[in-house]
Chains A and B, each alone.
Chain A
Amino acid sequence: MIEVKELRRSFGPVTAVDGISFQADKGEVLGLLGPNGAGKTTAMRMLACFITPDSGTASVEGFDILQNPVEVRCRLGYLAENSPAYGEMTVGGFLNFVCDARGINGTKRKQALDRIVPMCSINSVYHQTIDTLSKGYKRRVGLAQALIHDPEVLILDEPTDGLDPNQKHDVRLLINQMGKDKCIIISTHILEEVEAICSRTIIISEGRILADSTPSELKEKYQCSLDEVFRKITRKKSN
């Protein structure tokens, strides 16, 4: 469903993503793991067609990110790093705007809203202005926005960032449920999260892929906890 080929992007002298390639299929929850500044967000932004790669390409459900960016975005649910939204709008107004933009109208819209609002537990803040929400609620509104068209492919940049332990648990449960019949890529630097939800993990550092395996395989190979595996792999590179 997602195919990434030699994706490369630099900002001035800094190479953020340095030729990464991987594939992800339906039923997979792929965790992009890496230290800060490893290129996770840049890679995800390129997949969501927000920034264009310097070279290389990728495709989502067969649509190329360079040739058919609008088709890709139609099929993709994307939650950006700080869950950006229009602060002056109410949650309801904002979700209706997203429906407008995605062409979800009439009864379909009502169904979508009825499904998504309880799913992300934002019923209580539905009529509240987004600016007045706490970080956790903002994140959930962002998640609702990404899921509203029930996409086959989901890209979530640190989906549990800023949530309290209960909410984290709920979101992980949600991702686990959806992971069965969708293709999900999440980025994180919380290792317990990887063990809890990811069926496969890619460790990247300084824009390159250092490991592509399942969490349990990694643990077996290095004979230690995922924590230590992460340290070993990413430190080895910088030394």
Chain B
Amino acid sequence: MQSFWAVFKRELKSYFTTPLAYVFLVIFLFFSGYLAFKQGFFEARQADLRVFFMNLPLLYVFMVPSTAMRLWAEERKTGSIELLFTLPITITQAVLGKFFAAWIFLGIALALTFPMVITVYYLGNPDTGLIIAGYLGSWLTAGGFLAIGCFFSTISKNQVISFVLSVVACAVLVFAGMPTTLNYLSSFLPAGLVSTIESMSIRQHFESIQKGVLEFKDIAFFVVLIIGWISASTIVLDERKAA
């Protein structure tokens, strides 16, 4: 546990000692706000954050891999991985420490969108439960993408390669649930398979949480997604840490 905290603390601090955190926060906050206003946040004349949350998965497709790509690729490139794994730290502790630090960082970014919340409370009477569910869904989505990014960061020393691969993987998960994709797929795939693809996409589970319904299957989807990719990272790292 002490090793987990050591990695976690170091990692979270390192975001703020480099310009990384500030660049990320500014870009993320700008685009999350911009997209919401552009798509009719005021025009909808409703005191809710539906338009705001709707855009987040797409924004995360690019933003989360940019946080995740450095997690292990950088460590291997600079050789500091040799230091890390000759300290009494197990691979699982290190992977989890880094993952949770990055996840908390993404949570901080998400929390800094609070002016949107203040705006809707100022303008009307929004449903608090819905807003909380919206934030929870967004944070879980970020965690899912982060786990994917973490995995692709372990397979290459090159940050660009891990960025591109994780963007593609995250995009597949988002676009698999788009109505246009599903319509196209249903033209030649059996209905059962199409609905399987739909339920494997982020979109369906994300939207269902957005509606304020916390169902076991939606939470389980994200938990399984995260655990699966994190375990895969651990295995790959064990095999290739010195390569």
Minimal beta-carbon separation of A8 from chain B (angstroms): 15
Which chain A residues border B80 with CB–CB below 8 Å? Answer: 84-86
Q: Are A73 and B2 in contact (CB under 8 A)?
A: no
Instruction: Tell me the nearest residue of chain A to B13, going by C-beta.
Output: A93
* Chain A interfacial residues counted at CB < 8 A: 27
A222: Cβ under 8 A from any B Cβ: no
Which residues from 201 to 241 on chain B have a C-beta closer than 8 Å to any C-beta of chain A? 241
Q: Are B88 and A101 in contact (CB under 8 A)?
A: yes
Instruction: Indicate which residue in B9, B79, B86 contacts A73 across the interface (CB closer than 8 Å).
Output: B86
Which residues from 86 to 128 on chain A have a C-beta closer than 8 Å to any C-beta of chain B? 86-89, 93, 97-98, 100-103
Minimal beta-carbon separation of B67 from chain A (angstroms): 15
Of A48, A101, A103, most buried by chain B (CB within 10 Å of CB) is A101
Cα separation A179 to B17 with both chains bound (whole Å) = 38
Query: A45-B242, A88-B14, A88-B17 are contacts. A102–B87 as well, Cβ < 8 Å?
Result: yes
Cα separation A140 to B80 with both chains bound (whole Å) = 16
- Pairs across A and B, CB under 8 Å, 22 listed: A49-B86, A50-B241, A51-B241, A70-B90, A73-B87, A73-B88, A73-B89, A78-B86, A84-B78, A84-B79, A84-B80, A84-B81, A84-B83, A86-B80, A89-B10, A89-B14, A97-B10, A100-B9, A101-B88, A101-B89, A102-B88, A103-B2
Cα separation A76 to B18 with both chains bound (whole Å) = 31
Instruction: Tell me the nearest residue of chain A to B5, going by C-beta.
Output: A100
Instruction: Indicate which residue in B14, B17, B86 contacts A50 across the interface (CB closer than 8 Å).
Output: B86
Minimal beta-carbon separation of B15 from chain A (angstroms): 10
Q: Are A101 and B6 in contact (CB under 8 A)?
A: yes
Which chain A residues border B6 with CB–CB below 8 Å? Answer: 97, 100-101
Which chain A residues border B17 with CB–CB below 8 Å? Answer: 88-89
B82: Cβ under 8 A from any A Cβ: yes
Which chain B residues border A101 with CB–CB below 8 Å? Answer: 2-3, 6-7, 87-89
Minimal beta-carbon separation of A69 from chain B (angstroms): 8
Which chain A residues border B242 with CB–CB below 8 Å? Answer: 45, 50-51
Instruction: Tell me the nearest residue of chain B to A83, going by C-beta.
Output: B83
Which chain A residues border B90 with CB–CB below 8 Å? Answer: 70
B42: Cβ under 8 A from any A Cβ: no
Instruction: Indicate which residue in A70, A80, A100 contacts B83 across the interface (CB closer than 8 Å).
Output: A80
B31: Cβ under 8 A from any A Cβ: no
Cα separation A103 to B4 with both chains bound (whole Å) = 11
Q: Are B86 and A86 in contact (CB under 8 A)?
A: no
Which chain A residues border B18 with CB–CB below 8 Å? Answer: 88
Cα separation A98 to B89 with both chains bound (whole Å) = 11
Contact with A along B1-40 (1 / 0, CB 8 A): 0110111011001100110000000000000000000000
Which chain B residues border A76 with CB–CB below 8 Å? Answer: 86
Of A71, A73, A74, most buried by chain B (CB within 10 Å of CB) is A73
Cα separation A51 to B81 with both chains bound (whole Å) = 12
Known interface pairs A70-B88, A73-B88, A84-B78; 19 further A-B residue pairs with C-beta atoms within 8 A, sorted by A's residue number:
A45-B82, A45-B242, A51-B242, A70-B89, A70-B90, A76-B86, A80-B83, A82-B79, A84-B80, A85-B80, A85-B83, A88-B14, A89-B14, A100-B5, A101-B6, A101-B88, A102-B87, A102-B88, A103-B2
Cα separation A76 to B86 with both chains bound (whole Å) = 9
Which residues from 80 to 99 on chain B have a C-beta closer than 8 Å to any C-beta of chain A? 80-83, 85-90
Minimal beta-carbon separation of B14 from chain A (angstroms): 6
Minimal beta-carbon separation of A148 from chain B (angstroms): 11
